[in-house]
């Protein structure tokens, strides 16, 4: 007989992760406490990816220079947010991730699965780097940070300004810090269970 | 002055979500408690997506018939897992998600952003349904369930067997239940901080 399953997390934890967490649009100037970014990576890196391929790469824009460089590449409505948040992370996806598979997945020759298959590489990088972006958002909330994920930016400009000469492309952006709550929308509706789900 | 940030979750919660959670390969026969799937959706649906587009659709294969139908479409190494787990969810992405934007994002005419732009629709559906898949995995763990995400399946076969006549395509699969711990690999290495991250 297996052990009983661990209980669900307490309601306050579910609130912090999901039910009361809201995308922030305005940021307090407090910096992140020393070591927060490393603690964030130490959690999110443990989330599962296909064959442990871990294709996401993370550029944490924290200096005034890096934030200004990024702000120049985002949609006008996102510019002030990137300048105000203490950190905005660029979540990238490394199209050369198969090179790391002999280290990341020692159980099998997973690198060979991808050889000569650019479409599989791209799909795997995009799916798994996005999953890792989801782990980042929830790990940040678990550490007591607010998040402001953004898709409104010029991908070619961010790629050129931050990933030039690498095999990495931008997936999306996420501000991290302490939101003021200003300009937060009332919670928008979600699809009811029966429109999004079926139990077969 | 803003309120101080909420504290990080307790170490035991971080363990349950990230540090001690492991992808499961063998499943106890216990079914999920009544209402678990609905509770899972009620959490994961709250995770952020671009313009609240919420493109993921979820088919929870719980009956013996549905599990057998799905098992016939997966890689041989995943077949026994799908048959043994009490539920395996097919995470799909609805390419017609813009139709729901007037309801989901009443703040702006987001539907018009996607008109005639099939590449943007596909990228947005894939990125955001993958994010929602990440929210599903962490919401399941938060509820005390184990997860077994899988990419090894015949996408065309799953699409034909489960989404025929719809605008939904399969993204990935995830078993849900109570793992026995059997055949769980030792934790595979992750990229060190300096290989995956930079602070700029």
Residue whose token pair is 């099939």: B118
DSSP 3-state of A11: helix
Q: In degrees, to the nearest 5, what angle opens at C-alpha B162 toward C-alphas B44 and B40?
A: 15
Residue whose token pair is 């659709």: B57
Q: Quick check: A131 and B127 CB within 8 A?
A: no
Taking a contact as any Cβ pair under 8 Å apart, which residues of chain B between 64 and 123 contact chain A?
65-66, 100, 103-107
Separation between Cα atoms, residue A156 and residue B166, nearest integer Å:
33
HEC string of A137-171 equals HHHHHHCCCEEEEECCECHHHHHHHHCCCCCEEEE
Whole-angstrom Cα Rg for chain B: 19
Q: What is the value of ipTM here, to two decimals?
A: 0.96
Whole-angstrom Cα Rg for chain A: 19
Contact status of A198 with chain B (Cβ, < 8 Å): yes
Separation between Cα atoms, residue A147 and residue B87, nearest integer Å:
31
Separation between Cα atoms, residue A137 and residue A115, nearest integer Å:
32
Tens of each residue's pLDDT in chain A, 200 residues: 445 455 899 999 999 999 999 999 899 989 999 999 999 999 999 999 999 999 999 999 999 999 999 999 999 999 999 999 999 999 999 999 999 999 999 989 999 999 999 999 999 999 999 999 999 999 999 999 999 999 999 999 999 999 999 999 999 999 999 999 898 888 999 999 999 999 99
Q: What domains can you pick out in chain B, each with its CATH number? A: 23-180 (3.40.109.10)
Contact at 8 Å (CB) between B70 and B88? Answer: yes
Average pLDDT over residues B126-155: 97
Q: Which residues of A touch B60 (CB under 8 A)?
A: 197-200
Question: How do beta strands B56-61 and B87-94 pair?
Answer: antiparallel
Would you place residue B6 in the very low, low, confident or very high pLDDT band (cuts 50, 70, 90)?
Answer: low
pTM equals 0.96
Residue whose token pair is 């990576």: A41
Separation between Cα atoms, residue A13 and residue B6, nearest integer Å:
10
Separation between Cα atoms, residue A86 and residue A34, nearest integer Å:
12
For A195, other C-beta atoms within 10 Å of its C-beta total: 13
Instruction: Name the token pair of B20.
Output: 């001690």
DSSP 3-state of B102: helix
Q: Which residues of B touch A93 (CB under 8 A)?
A: none
């Amino acid at each position: 007989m297996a052990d009983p399953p661990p209980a669900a997390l307490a309601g306050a934890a579910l609130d912090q992760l999901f039910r009361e967490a809201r995308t922030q649009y305005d940021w307090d100037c407090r910096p992140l406490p020393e070591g927060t970014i490393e603690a964030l990576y130490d959690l999110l890196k443990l989330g599962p990816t296909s064959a442990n391929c871990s294709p996401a790469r993370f550029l944490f824009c924290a200096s005034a220079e890096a934030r200004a460089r990024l702000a120049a590449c985002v949609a006008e409505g996102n510019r002030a947010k990137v300048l105000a948040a203490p950190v905005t992370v660029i979540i990238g996806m490394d199209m050369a991730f198969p090179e790391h598979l002999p280290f990341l997945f020692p159980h099998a020759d997973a690198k060979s699965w991808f050889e000569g298959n650019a479409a599989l590489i791209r799909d795997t990088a995009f799916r798994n780097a996005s999953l890792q972006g989801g782990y980042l958002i929830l790990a940040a909330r678990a550490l007591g940070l607010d998040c402001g994920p953004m898709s409104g930016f010029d991908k070619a400009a961010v790629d050129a300004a931050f990933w030039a000469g690498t095999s990495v492309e931008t997936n999306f952006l996420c501000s991290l810090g302490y939101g003021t709550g200003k300009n937060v929308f009332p919670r928008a509706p979600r699809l009811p269970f029966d429109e999004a789900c079926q139990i077969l």
